[in-house]
């Protein structure tokens, strides 16, 4: 019996559970660019909008690397009809000669082979410094595009090759002569890969390329939006802007000041503490270090870091070196000049970072990142290089600019005093056990589950909405926290003042993470924090105040995908026993049409809480009696009864939630500065510029 079972196990192991043989022939080998199309997310992160735009960054980065090497100073990026993108640089041009290993043109090798490029091999490679690590950029874009054309101007000749889904349609061919030099890559992403659509976000592209223009000073970057044109014939031209008769909106960037100009751009809505912007650009230990900084009258630090022009959202070793040198240098200068008295304690890292706007950029021949996303630099040599170069230069800057130095030291000393006051206030609250979760706020109607993954916290506006939502909720998983009125604007408020606010303290306690240096994301009590405010001006303001609080002091909660905005309906439409909800005016019209109300009569219907008589055309109805249609316009969540609130806003099976994401942290930071800061002129200008985009019910 045992032997029979053993034989059966061996057979099952050879053939598998389904009886299929598992042998050498079962191993699939993906050749060429097949892996890219099979698993595009491994190469561009996602096949959504972010991944789509990543294609532009990959091709642009090749041009930018030419500029970083000093071989190019003019790059043009154009959006064309039918989803095409065209990127041009006046660099050396991709080599077109026969590659000794692949036995085909180097251009074809780069465009059709993963891990092929001029960014390997150290000093003997085509680039001493580059943003790309793996040499997959052009080939990945080619693999994920339905059509690609690469044109090279080099050594007096124009060479071209076309591709379809990564495969060349013919060999590289010389098609003419030229006096120019550079590379043109034109591609159209494959809709079969990017199923959400080929929709380019011009603002996103402009913002990214503007940032790159600051990072590579002295390089002109032009963005052209030619999507509205009927057709663009670029077969015989280099730059589109030079074509006779070509007309399309364009934006150009050119900055000689480098990071110094970028800091000035970041601070244009801020009040600076000192006049001169600190700037250094110097090499040390084989690492190019560029740093610019300026303090502003604010409490939030803004540090932006780049390694080989790649944005490092999580910082890294270069940021560590910067912070160490900043704290050490300011303490030393303050003591030497007696601006920091003997009785005063030393400045800490938190003190010297308050209100700082700094940009750090390093360039290394061999670079290491922590993780696949390049969000954090891991190269240890960057830490020492930044610490040395920045520390020495900042010390000299303080000596040469005594007025600026005094303003900076006074700023950080004020931060030190405020930190002590905030710590005393926070410790007072902690001693009472409030932020440790020992005493949940009385207004919180908590849920029964102890599982954070299941728990949902609805933050609602006012007691009336709180009452309805408490009655309509699923008590097992849904908690309700009603807030009274508008919470404190925390854009410029310190923690001691924040914790003095009853509403903010209640929210902090309810979430369970604590705040400041004792913040702990693992203690978050709910994995869905849902902001449910009314669909009016006051509701929008309260939502903005809450988002400001979460963005400034609970950013990991947003980054973790735990924050949502509820979308309650605007209308309840009833006809007989049929009930429908509409979330916009357009949706209301569609619902009325579905319910059988004639299109030409929709305009005659007025919003009311009383039934309205609607006469209908003969072809629309089968009865001669007029049908009663009731359209109720909700002004707030408090107007809904518990059952309505449940089925429209709280029922997981039917509700509409929008997750809050921060796609561009720098842009989000500037928007919060404008909307919630003290620069009234900028806020007024922003409101006037965007007034037509607002959909408000006053």
Q: Is residue 360 part of a domain?
A: yes
Let me know whether 319 and 383 are in one domain.
yes
Q: How does pLDDT run across 479-491, given as a tens digit for each residue?
A: 999 998 888 888 7
DSSP secondary structure string for all residues of 118-187? SS-SGGGSS-SS-S-SSS-HHHHHHHTEEEEEEEEEETTEEEEEEEETTEESS--EEEEE-S--EEEEEE
Q: Is residue 578 part of a domain?
A: yes
The answer to whether the Cα torsion of 406, 408, 411, 412 is positive or negative is: negative
Q: What CATH number does residue 530 fall under?
A: 3.40.50.670
User: Is there a contact between 60 and 209 (Cβ–Cβ < 8 Å)?
Assistant: yes
Does residue 685 have a pLDDT over 80?
no
Q: Is residue 27 part of a domain?
A: no
Let me know whether 543 and 676 are in one domain.
yes
Does residue 133 have a pLDDT over 60?
no
What pLDDT score was predicted for residue 498?
82
Let me know whether 80 and 129 are in one domain.
yes
Average pLDDT for residues 481-509, to the nearest whole number? Answer: 84
Average pLDDT for residues 275-285, to the nearest whole number? Answer: 94
Does residue 284 have a pLDDT over 70?
yes
Q: Is residue 448 part of a domain?
A: no
What pLDDT score was predicted for residue 37?
85
What pLDDT score was predicted for residue 649?
92
Which one-letter DSSP state was computed for residue 254?
A: -
Q: Please state, in angstroms and rounded to a whole number, the distance separating the CA atoms of residues 431 and 622.
A: 72
183 token code pair: 């590379």
Average pLDDT for residues 97-126, to the nearest whole number? Answer: 74
- Return the minimum-mean-pLDDT range out of 8-22, 112-126, 323-337, 352-366: 8-22
What pLDDT score was predicted for residue 121?
46
Let me know whether 554 and 478 are in one domain.
yes
Q: Please state, in angstroms and rounded to a whole number, the distance separating the CA atoms of residues 588 and 633.
A: 10
Q: Which of these three, 200, 222, 253, is where a domain ends?
A: 253
Q: Rounded to an integer, what is the distance from CA 104 to the centroid of its chain?
A: 40
Domain count, the chain: 4
Look at residues 370, 638, 637, 350 and name the one whose alpha carbon lies nearest to residue 494: 350
Does residue 300 have a pLDDT over 80?
yes
Reported as a pLDDT band with limits 50, 70 and 90, residue 661 is confident
Let me know whether 300 and 156 are in one domain.
no
Q: Is residue 65 part of a domain?
A: yes
Does residue 330 have a pLDDT over 80?
yes
Q: Please state, in angstroms and rounded to a whole number, the distance separating the CA atoms of residues 659 and 311.
A: 24
Termini Cα distance of the chain: 82
Three-state DSSP at 626 gives coil
Query: 31 vs 678, which has greater pLDDT?
Result: 678
Does residue 246 have a pLDDT over 70?
yes
Q: Which residues of 122-148 are buried (b: 16+ CB within 10 A; e: fewer)?
A: eeeebbbbbbbbebbbbbbbbbbbbbb
Enumerate the β-bridge partners of residue 565. 531, 658
Percent of the chain whose pLDDT exceeds 70:
80
Q: Is residue 435 part of a domain?
A: no
481 token code pair: 């926290």
Question: Burial, 684: exposed, middle or buried (Cβ in 10 Å; 0-12, 13-18, 19+)?
Answer: exposed
Enumerate the β-bridge partners of residue 627. 614
Catalytic residues: 461, 534, 536, 538
Three-state DSSP at 287 gives strand
Query: 126 vs 529, which has greater pLDDT?
Result: 529
Domain interval for residue 621? 571-633
Q: Which residues of 588-621 are buried (b: 16+ CB within 10 A; e: fewer)?
A: bbebbeebbbbeeeeeebeeeeeeeebebeeeeb
pTM of the model: 0.68
Reported as a pLDDT band with limits 50, 70 and 90, residue 182 is very high
Let me know whether 305 and 205 are in one domain.
no
Q: Is residue 447 part of a domain?
A: no
Q: Please state, in angstroms and rounded to a whole number, the distance separating the CA atoms of residues 19 and 31.
A: 28
Let me know whether 164 and 234 are in one domain.
yes
Calculate ∠ Cα 343-344-347, nearest 5°.
155
Let me know whether 115 and 184 are in one domain.
yes
Backbone angles phi, psi at 428, to 5 degrees: -60, -45
Let me know whether 90 and 207 are in one domain.
yes
Average pLDDT for residues 114-121, to the nearest whole number? Answer: 56
Q: How does pLDDT run across 510-537, given as a tens digit for each residue?
A: 999 988 778 899 999 999 999 998 877 7
Contacts of 390 (CB under 8 A, 6+ apart): 280, 289, 291, 321, 322, 325, 326, 360
Q: Rounded to an integer, what is the distance from CA 185 to the centroid of its chain?
A: 26
What pLDDT score was predicted for residue 458?
96
In order of 424, 608, 610, the CA distances from 602 in angstroms are 62, 14, 16
Let me know whether 310 and 397 are in one domain.
yes
Q: Please state, in angstroms and rounded to a whole number, the distance separating the CA atoms of residues 60 and 43.
A: 16
In order of 341, 398, 436, 451, 457, the CA distances from 477 in angstroms are 55, 57, 22, 9, 9
Look at residues 169, 171, 170, 116 and name the one whose alpha carbon lies nearest to residue 147: 169
Q: Is residue 347 part of a domain?
A: yes
- Return the minimum-mean-pLDDT range out of 188-197, 289-298, 408-417, 593-602: 593-602
Q: How does pLDDT run across 366-393, given as a tens digit for each residue?
A: 888 886 567 899 999 999 999 999 999 9
Contacts of 49 (CB under 8 A, 6+ apart): 196, 199, 201
Q: Which of these three, 194, 226, 253, is where a domain ends?
A: 253
Q: How does pLDDT run across 577-595, given as a tens digit for each residue?
A: 788 888 888 888 888 888 7
Look at residues 110, 112, 84, 107 and name the one whose alpha carbon lies nearest to residue 97: 107
Query: 164 vs 669, which has greater pLDDT?
Result: 164
The answer to whether the Cα torsion of 408, 409, 412, 414 is positive or negative is: negative
Reported as a pLDDT band with limits 50, 70 and 90, residue 678 is low
Helix axes 680-690, 665-676, angle to 10 degrees: 110
Does residue 599 have a pLDDT over 90?
no
Query: 618 vs 277, which has greater pLDDT?
Result: 277
Let me know whether 365 and 490 are in one domain.
no
What pLDDT score was predicted for residue 205?
96
Average pLDDT along the chain: 83
Q: What CATH number does residue 224 fall under?
A: 3.30.565.10
Question: Burial, 157: exposed, middle or buried (Cβ in 10 Å; 0-12, 13-18, 19+)?
Answer: middle
Average pLDDT for residues 583-609, to the nearest whole number? Answer: 66
Q: Please state, in angstroms and rounded to a whole number, the distance separating the CA atoms of residues 692 and 689.
A: 8
Reported as a pLDDT band with limits 50, 70 and 90, residue 173 is very high
Q: Which of these three, 388, 410, 426, is where a domain ends?
A: 426
What pLDDT score was predicted for residue 270?
86
The size of the chain, in residues, is 698
Let me know whether 275 and 396 are in one domain.
yes
Q: Rounded to an integer, what is the distance from CA 595 to the centroid of its chain?
A: 41
Question: Burial, 417: exposed, middle or buried (Cβ in 10 Å; 0-12, 13-18, 19+)?
Answer: exposed
Q: Which of 124-133, 448-457, 601-610 has the highest mean pLDDT?
A: 448-457
Q: What CATH number does residue 350 fall under?
A: 3.30.230.10
Q: How does pLDDT run across 22-81, given as a tens digit for each residue?
A: 444 433 334 567 788 888 888 888 899 999 999 999 999 999 999 988 999 999 999 999
User: Is there a contact between 45 and 54 (Cβ–Cβ < 8 Å)?
Assistant: yes
Query: 281 vs 4, which has greater pLDDT?
Result: 281
Q: Please state, in angstroms and rounded to a whole number, the distance separating the CA atoms of residues 634 and 79.
A: 42
User: Is there a contact between 140 and 36 (Cβ–Cβ < 8 Å)?
Assistant: yes
Calculate ∠ Cα 304-309-312, nearest 5°.
40
Backbone angles phi, psi at 520, to 5 degrees: -140, 105
């Amino acid at each position: 019996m045992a032997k029979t079972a053993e034989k059966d196990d061996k057979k099952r192991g050879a053939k598998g559970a389904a009886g299929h043989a598992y042998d050498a022939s079962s191993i699939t080998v993906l050749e060429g660019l097949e892996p890219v199309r099979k698993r595009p997310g491994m190469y561009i992160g996602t096949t959504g909008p972010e991944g789509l735009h990543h294609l532009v960054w990959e091709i642009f980065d090749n041009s930018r690397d030419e500029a970083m090497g000093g071989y190019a100073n003019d790059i043009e990026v154009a959006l064309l009809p039918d989803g095409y993108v065209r990127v041009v640089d006046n660099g050396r041009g991709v080599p077109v000669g026969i590659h000794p290993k692949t036995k085909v043109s180097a251009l074809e090798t780069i465009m059709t082979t993963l891990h092929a490029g001029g960014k390997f091999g150290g000093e003997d490679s085509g680039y001493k410094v580059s943003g790309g690590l793996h040499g997959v950029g052009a080939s990945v874009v080619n693999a994920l595009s339905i059509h690609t054309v690469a044109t090279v101007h080099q050594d007096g000749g124009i060479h071209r090759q076309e591709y379809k889904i990564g495969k060349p349609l013919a060999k590289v061919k010389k098609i003419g002569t030229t006096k120019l030099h550079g590379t043109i890559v034109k591609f159209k992403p494959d809709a079969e890969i990017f199923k959400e659509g080929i929709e380019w976000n011009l603002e996103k592209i402009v913002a990214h390329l503007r940032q790159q223009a600051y990072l590579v000073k002295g390089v002109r970057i032009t963005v052209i939006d030619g999507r509205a044109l009927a057709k663009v014939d670029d077969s015989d031209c280099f730059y589109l802007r030079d074509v006779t008769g070509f007309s399309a909106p364009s934006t150009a960037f050119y900055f000689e000041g480098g990071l110094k100009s970028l800091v000035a751009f970041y601070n244009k809505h801020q009040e600076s503490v000192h006049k001169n912007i600190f700037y250094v650009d110097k090499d040390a230990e084989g690492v190019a270090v560029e740093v610019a900084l300026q303090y502003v009258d604010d409490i939030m630090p803004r540090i932006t870091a780049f390694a080989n022009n790649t944005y490092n959202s999580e910082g890294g070793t270069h940021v560590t070196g910067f912070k160490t040198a900043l704290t050490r240098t300011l303490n030393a200068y303050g003591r030497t000049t007696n601006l920091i008295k003997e009785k005063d304690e030393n400045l800490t890292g938190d003190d010297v970072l308050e209100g700082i706007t700094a940009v750090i950029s390093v360039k290394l021949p061999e670079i290491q990142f922590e993780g696949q996303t390049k969000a954090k630099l891991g190269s240890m040599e960057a830490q020492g290089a930044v610490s040395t170069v920045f520390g020495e230069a900042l010390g000299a800057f303080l000596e040469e600019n005594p007025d600026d130095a005094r303003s900076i030291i006074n700023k950080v000393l004020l931060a030190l005093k405020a930190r002590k006051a905030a710590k005393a206030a926070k410790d007072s609250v902690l001693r009472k056990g409030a932020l440790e979760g020992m005493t949940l706020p009385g207004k919180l109607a908590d849920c029964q589950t102890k599982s954070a993954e299941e728990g949902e916290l609805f933050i609602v506006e006012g007691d009336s909405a709180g009452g309805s939502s408490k009655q309509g909720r699923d008590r097992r998983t849904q908690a309700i926290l009603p807030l009274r009125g508008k919470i404190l604007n925390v854009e410029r408020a310190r923690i001691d003042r924040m914790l003095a606010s009853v509403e903010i303290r209640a929210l902090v306690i309810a979430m369970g993470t604590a705040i400041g240096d004792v913040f702990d994301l693992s203690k978050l009590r709910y994995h869905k924090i849902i902001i449910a405010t009314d669909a009016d001006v006051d509701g929008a303001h309260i939502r903005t105040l809450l988002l400001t609080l979460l963005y400034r002091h609970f950013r990991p909660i947003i980054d973790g995908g735990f924050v949502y905005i509820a979308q309650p309906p605007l209308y309840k439409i009833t006809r007989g026993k049929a009930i429908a909800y509409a979330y916009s005016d357009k949706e209301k019209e569609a619902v009325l049409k579905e319910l059988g109300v004639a299109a030409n009569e929709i305009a005659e219907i007025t919003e009311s809480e009383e039934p309205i008589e609607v006469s209908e055309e003969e072809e629309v109805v089968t009865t001669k009696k007029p049908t009663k249609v009731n359209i109720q316009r909700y002004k707030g969540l408090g107007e809904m009864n518990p059952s309505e609130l449940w089925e429209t806003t709280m029922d997981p099976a039917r509700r509409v939630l929008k997750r809050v994401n921060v796609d561009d942290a720098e842009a989000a930071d500037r928007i919060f500065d404008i909307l919630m800061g003290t620069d009234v002129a900028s806020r007024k200008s922003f409101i006037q510029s965007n007034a037509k985009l607002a959909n408000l019910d006053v």
